[in-house]
Amino acid sequence: MTNSEMAAMFDRIADMLEIKGENVHRILAYRNAANSIGQFPRDLRIVAAEGGLEEISGVGKVIAEKIAEILETGTLQFYENLAAEIPPGVVDILHINGVGPKKARMFWQGAGITDVPSLEAAAREGKLAGLPSMGAKSIARVLEGIESFNRRATDTRTPLGVALPTAERILAMIMQIEGVGKGAIAGSIRRALPTIGDVDLVVTAQDATMVMDIFVQMDEVARVLGHGPTKSSVELQNGLQVDLRVLPEEHWGTALVYFTGSKNHGIKLRTMALAKGLSLNEWAFTPVDGGEEILCATEEAVYSQIGLPYIPPEIREDMGEIEAAQKGKLPKLIQLSDIHADLHMHTVWSDGTATVQEMAEAALERGRKYIVITDHSHGATIANGLSIERLLEQQIEVRRVDAEMGGAIRVFHGTEMEIKADGTLDFPDEILEQLDFVIASLHVGLRQPRVQVTQRLLNALNNPNVDLIGHPRGQLIPERDPADLDMDAVFATAQKTGTALEINANPHRLDLEAQYARRAAEFGIPICIDTDAHRPETMDLMRYGVMTARRGWIEASQVINTWPLEQFMQWLDKRNGR
């Protein structure tokens, strides 16, 4: 069982405990464990063998024992007992907008409704009318919630690459409303999670009512989920839920910290505030013993009030950032402006839509100093991969374009080479030695057993001609789970060989994910952030890779395509003398 599968199990346990009406602290224990396990970069089997489960944030003795049981048996008796007691469809009902644990339990125990289709049928046939608090409006809201649930049934979370542009578009419209001052995207988008549940927006205005009235009537709104004086929620046509909060400007700092999250980070901040005799909420600090509120118009002021430097939003996950801040050891996170190059892109030679010349010119327009053309190797037949003959023909064109650019941008020749299902590489060493830069990637056989798929990646890492492993875990969000790799073995080998690992900036990949990128950097492994662009405009996806790197505590010096051209070439020469 992978970390993400185990995290999903603990989340489902928390859902079932909510439906049962269990103690909130017990529910939160499983939620926190799920959050930590889902982000934890190491294989829990190895951590368990080392006796280190309880060192994981959110994992105490009880949770550690349950993890150990899952690792030993492949299941958890506690989970099986709950699942036998509570029909799985009742947990689905809990995730309908407007249906909390009490209503889910009422539908199940009071009306024998055990899944979403049965609930919909009962609502349409008038069978909910006799239940407590289920008037016509409540039933209508349930039906609206079911329609929304069905639209997102395949995946309840939205890729960052969909959510962020949507959030930016809606915020831009809100910022045009007269009287709106400051505005920001908050929540999990601001923290750069690869997928998000809903969009959180925070703005300042003195007349919140007018802002809310305009917001809920926007053309992109499919239905209004809530319309209040300081918070309104809507569902957009694309199924995304957007929550808007409007507040006076003097509360901006505390509100933005609060609504950015994460929950665990906020709990730590509030605990630190209490130690100083202060209560902290989204509005202000309040002295516990009475006295005037302490208003914070900036986030910096919030952190300063409890004795901390500003902590960037991408690392507010209670994964050591507060302790690092206390010690003055916060990382200086990479920024988009630090990127000088893009080392992974495709052209019309394989499955891209632009020529080598067009990709070079597009990169130059975006301020890049050097790029590598890395079309697919012949094993990627679905992507029109290059044979050895075509690869060498392409090299002539790349050299010509490089010369014609006159030094304004350097254009190097490389390949994205297939790591084949049997573990061999698509091109022989004598061909790879003629290339400037070599990427090796997994595209096929991703569901192979752990030992087999890991060994394939290790074979590529141990080839001295391979400079970079592209999108190492092979995930596609949300379509495809990552390969079940032994990442400790991958990191140990990459550290030994000096091979770089990629953060693929395409928001459908974001691979390495942040927790693995952070672990790789701790090993001293070079990181590379690439767009994997197949057409000029997809070079603009670089920001998602940088956001993911920031979430992984990555500094610019650890990323090879932030280096000046001379440093990059020296690195290649030192590696293999090509």
Which CATH number characterizes residue 428's domain? 3.20.20.140
- Say what the pLDDT of residue 39 is: 75
Is the preceding omega at residue 512 within 30 degrees of 0, hence cis?
yes
The total number of structural domains in the chain stands at 4
CA–CA gap between residue 434 and residue 93 (Å, rounded): 59
pLDDT over threshold 80, residue 578: no
Last residue within a domain, chosen from 151, 175, 195: 151
Give the lowest-confidence range in 80-84, 191-195, 381-385, 490-494: 381-385
Q: Is residue 221 part of a domain?
A: yes
Give the three-state DSSP class for 202: strand
Res. 562: pLDDT tops 70: yes
How confident is the model at residue 154, as a pLDDT? 58
If you search the block for the tokens 């957007």, which residue do you land on?
Answer: 242
Q: Establish if 331 belongs to a structural domain.
A: no
Name the H helices within 405-462.
Answer: 429-432, 450-461
- Choose one of 151, 171, 189: the last residue of a domain: 151
165, 259: one domain: no
Residues 208, 345 share a domain: no
Q: Could you tell me the residue range of the domain that residue 94 belongs to?
A: 3-151
Single pTM value for the model: 0.84
Give yes or no for a cis peptide into 478 (omega within 30° of 0). yes
> In this structure, which amino acid lies at residue 340?
H
Same domain, 295 and 168: no
Do 322 and 439 have their domain in common?
no
Which of 152-166, 468-482, 555-569 has the lowest average pLDDT? 152-166
Structure tokens at 171: 């915020």
Judge whether residue 537 has pLDDT over 70: yes
| End position of a domain, from candidates 326, 357, 382 | 326
229 and 182 together in one domain: yes
Residues 92 and 14 grouped into a single domain: yes
Q: What CATH code is carried by the domain that includes residue 320?
A: 3.30.210.10
For residue 86, name the pLDDT band (cuts at 50, 70, 90): very high
Q: Are residues 474 and 356 in the same domain?
A: yes
CATH code of residue 52 = 1.10.150.110
Task: Assess if residue 213 is contained within a domain.
Answer: yes
For 368-388, how does the pLDDT look when each residue is reduced to its tens digit (9 = 90+)?
A: 999 999 999 998 888 899 999
Instruction: Answer yes or no: do 314 and 368 share one domain.
Output: no
DSSP assignment of 30-81 equals HHHHHHHHHH--S-HHHHHHTT-GGGSTT--HHHHHHHHHHHHHSS-HHHHH
Average pLDDT of the residues in 328-349? 98
Place of tokens 């830069």: 437
* Residues 507, 545: Cα–Cα separation, whole Å: 8
> Do 354 and 454 fall within a single domain?
yes
- Beta-sheet strand order (sheet of 183-185): 183-185, 199-204, 241-247, 231-236, 221-227
Q: What was the pLDDT predicted at 186?
A: 98
Q: What percent of the chain has pLDDT over 70?
A: 99
Q: Which two tokens stand for residue 309?
A: 């430097």
* CATH number of the domain where residue 189 is located: 3.30.460.10
Lowest mean pLDDT across 91-100, 194-203, 509-518, 558-567: 91-100
pLDDT value at residue 152? 64
E strand or H helix that includes residue 184: strand 183-185
> Prior bond to 4 cis, omega within 30?
no
Distance between CA atoms of residues 197 and 195, nearest Å: 7
399 and 520 share a domain?
Answer: yes
Both 287 and 428 in a single domain? no
pLDDT of residue 35: 83
Give residue 52's pLDDT band: very low, low, confident or very high (50, 70, 90): very high
Query: In terms of domains, do 493 and 516 share one?
Result: yes
